[in-house]
Structure 1
Amino acid sequence: MEPSLRIFDEESGNPKSLRIGSRLDKYRIVSRLGEGGFATVYAAHDTIEDRRVALKIPDARYVANTQSVDDLKREVRIMAKLRHPGVLELKDARFVEGHFVMVFPLGEQTLADRLSRRLARATAIDYALQMIDAVAHAHQQRVLHRDIKPDNFILFPNQTIRLTDFGLARVQRNGKHVSASGTLGYMAPEQAMGHPGFRSDVFSLGLVLYRMLSGELPDYPFEAPLPGYQKLRRGLSSDFVSLIRKAVDPEPKRRFRDAIAMQNAVSRIRYPLSDRSISQLGRTQTTSRISQRRAG
């Protein structure tokens, strides 16, 4: 079902006070999941469909700003066009009792939460392949994410991971972005200078993969050897290590031009693990598994 886009001509009204247990239309708020600079995410119960969902609700002061409303429209329109198993699906988007509400499937936890505990090598590779696929799909649609980080990947059952939070995303048409928005630690050097592009998304994704597989996040400017590099190499094929190193190269021209090129490169690595315990056949099985869950 396509998400509702009725927000464009609807009056927001005076926002209702939000508390645990309160209702917004058919959604009953169950708990607060997290809070950022502009929005709060809640777990909620859809009382009509009898399922748990996630509600992303921007701060009312943010929504009151005309430019901010334009940003919300852009985020909704971008997410509505991204139809991929690895991108978190936008179920609904509209004003409810004075609040702008974006509705998503409710996951189990973020990748950032999961990285606080040991992650099996095979599971990490499974996640990595899905993450590269998701960002490649966004780039195929000319969508530049600009905020790829572990917090913006959501885990679901059956080892499924999905990319979310397109609040900073833009449709790349002329390459003339001048905003340095993003998250420090995962932002490419050229993005920090106001020149983001598909290669900067590749850099951010490469750093997420590096952290997931090494337990360390290198600080830019990088110094050799990179922290955790020996742990990164442990159990990985040399080709997969080289792919990650290319993704996080500080020089943009030496990286993959976009995640599509990165996806093409990883598809040629038949055995991501050095012991060959898993192969790219697992990638096909993963895609099939996710598609079956979405159909259900």
Structure 2
Amino acid sequence: MALRKKLPIPRLRTKSRLGKYRIEGVLAEGHYATLYRALDTIEARRVALKIPHPHLADEEFIESFLKEARLAASVDHPCLLSLKDASYINDLLVMAYPLGQESLADRLTRRIASASLSTFIENCLEGLAALHARRIIHCDIKPENFIVFPGPTLRLADFGIARQARRTLNASGSGTLGYMAPEQAMGRASTRSDVFAIGLLLHRMITGHVPEYPFKWPAKGYDRLRRKARPEFIALLKRALDVEPRKRFRDAGAFLAAYRQTRKTALILR
């Protein structure tokens, strides 16, 4: 692999212009890209701009972002964050996405009413099910990758390490520790691994606790889970969090179908 160019990370200033976009501030900065809040001055809409760090921009690095852009542009579902536009501007790869209100990680710092929580659970499963229906494994399910939009509704984002699946994906163990199935950490991810990760996320949304390795049931927060959810839904969650992949739902579509049968009574309204 070619050596990466040691170029400075661009610090786009507030009110500066980048093509048709006017930068309004930084939303987040990661190891590989910076996310900006910007105004599309032609469409008069605010967007989130994802710009890979140019000092890492060798051919392999940029190709990974181009694959992400193509995948995000190809999805069309209300619970998936699709790409609005991607282009090179001033030698920078710029990926424009709809701008949400906040991430689910931020939203979880405040109390969520039971009615909204029920909607969020269904949105999470709908978005992931839409990917699985196209034989795509997300591989990085976590609160930061769900974006809150007015409604409120959630959209699943960040397909940076999503992979096309056949039966099972022989991946490299990519993902986020704390929201990763045991077999995914060993490089054997599948749609069932995403089911496990979404189970961890739903448990966190309801109880405030993320089950930890070795993932024995019941996990920390079980008393709160019993106060907030009915036995039928708890049984679904337990199945999603089984450490043996073959005992879980085969994919998010199966999990969603089972959830919809209990949706109206899944949570105990207070």
The reply to whether TM is greater than 0.5 is yes
Give 3-state SS (helix, strand or coil) of 1:199's partner: helix
Give 3-state SS (helix, strand or coil) of 2:71's partner: helix
Cα distance between partner residues in 1 of 2:205 and 2:138: 19
Give 3-state SS (helix, strand or coil) of 2:130's partner: helix
Q: Runs (4+) of structure 1 moved beyond 6 Å?
A: none
* Structure 1 pair 137–274 and aligned structure 2 pair: CA distance change class (3 A): closer
* Structure 1 pair 173–61 and aligned structure 2 pair: CA distance change class (3 A): farther
Alignment of 1:48-63 (within 5 A): 48-62=42-56
Amino acid at match of 2:42: I
- 1:261 aligns to what? 254
Unmatched 5+ stretches in structure 2:
1-7
**Is 1:87–2:66 an aligned residue pair?**
no
1:41 pairs with 31, 35, 38, which one? 35
**Is 1:113–2:119 an aligned residue pair?**
no
Amino acid at match of 2:51: I
- 2:220 aligns to what? 227
Cα distance between partner residues in 2 of 1:251 and 1:58: 37
Amino acid at match of 2:156: L
Q: Give me the TM-score of the superposition, normalised by structure 2.
A: 0.92
Using the TM superposition, give the Cα deviation of residue 153 of structure 1 relative to its aligned residue in structure 2, in angstroms. Answer: 0.3
Using the TM superposition, give the Cα deviation of residue 171 of structure 1 relative to its aligned residue in structure 2, in angstroms. Answer: 1.1
Aligned length: 263
Amino acid at match of 1:258: D
* Structure 1 pair 168–195 and aligned structure 2 pair: CA distance change class (3 A): same
Q: Give me the TM-score of the superposition, normalised by structure 1.
A: 0.84
- 1:98 aligns to what? 91
Quick one: percent identity of the two aligned structures? 48
**Is 1:245–2:200 an aligned residue pair?**
no
Kept after mapping to 2: 8 A contact 1:93/1:101? yes
Using the TM superposition, give the Cα deviation of residue 16 of structure 1 relative to its aligned residue in structure 2, in angstroms. Answer: 6.3
Cα distance between partner residues in 2 of 1:274 and 1:193: 34
Using the TM superposition, give the Cα deviation of residue 24 of structure 1 relative to its aligned residue in structure 2, in angstroms. Answer: 0.8
Q: CA RMSD in A?
A: 1.8
Unmatched 5+ stretches in structure 1:
1-13, 279-296
- Say which is worse superposed, 264-273 or 192-201, in terms of deviation: 264-273
Using the TM superposition, give the Cα deviation of residue 225 of structure 1 relative to its aligned residue in structure 2, in angstroms. Answer: 3.5
Alignment of 1:157-172 (within 5 A): 157-172=150-165
Kept after mapping to 1: 8 A contact 2:100/2:149? yes
Using the TM superposition, give the Cα deviation of residue 178 of structure 1 relative to its aligned residue in structure 2, in angstroms. Answer: 2.9
Cα distance between partner residues in 2 of 1:239 and 1:223: 19
Amino acid at match of 2:242: D
Give 3-state SS (helix, strand or coil) of 1:31's partner: strand
Alignment of 1:112-151 (within 5 A): 112-151=105-144
